[in-house]
Amino acid sequence: MIASLSGTVAALGPTSAVVETGGVGLLALCSPGTLAHLRIGQRATLFTSLVVREDSLTLFGFASADEREFFELLLTATGVGPKLAQAALAVLSPDELRHAIATENLVVLCKVPGIGRKGAQRIVLELKDKINAVGLVAEPGAPVLPGQALWRAQVTQGLVGLGWALKDAEAACDDVEPMLEDQPDLGVPALMRAALQTLARR
Residue-wise pLDDT for 127-148, tens only, equals 988 875 434 433 444 433 334 4
Of 170 and 18, the structure prediction assigns the larger pLDDT to: 18
What 6-9 contacts at long range (C-beta under 8 Å, 24+ apart), as own/partner pairs, is 6/43, 6/44, 6/45, 6/46, 7/43, 7/44, 8/41, 8/42, 8/43, 8/44, 9/38, 9/39, 9/40, 9/41, 9/42, 9/43, 9/44
Residue-wise pLDDT for 82-120, tens only, equals 999 999 998 888 888 888 898 889 999 999 999 999 999
Could you tell me the pTM of the whole model?
Answer: 0.63
Domain 147-200 has CATH 1.10.8.60: no
Provide mean pLDDT across the span 6-33.
92
Q: Where are the domains of the chain?
A: 4-62, 65-134, 147-200
Give the pLDDT score at 190: 80
Torsion of CA 17, 96, 192, 152, to 10 degrees: 150
Greatest CA span in the chain, whole angstroms? 60
CATH class given for the domain over 4-62: mainly beta
Are the beta carbons of 110 and 117 closer than 8 angstroms? yes
Listed residue (123, 118, 191) closest to 159, CA to CA:
191
pLDDT band at residue 58, thresholds of 50, 70 and 90? very high
Domain 65-134 has CATH 1.10.150.20: yes
CA dihedral for 85, 86, 87, 92, sign (positive or negative): positive
Are the beta carbons of 150 and 144 closer than 8 angstroms? yes
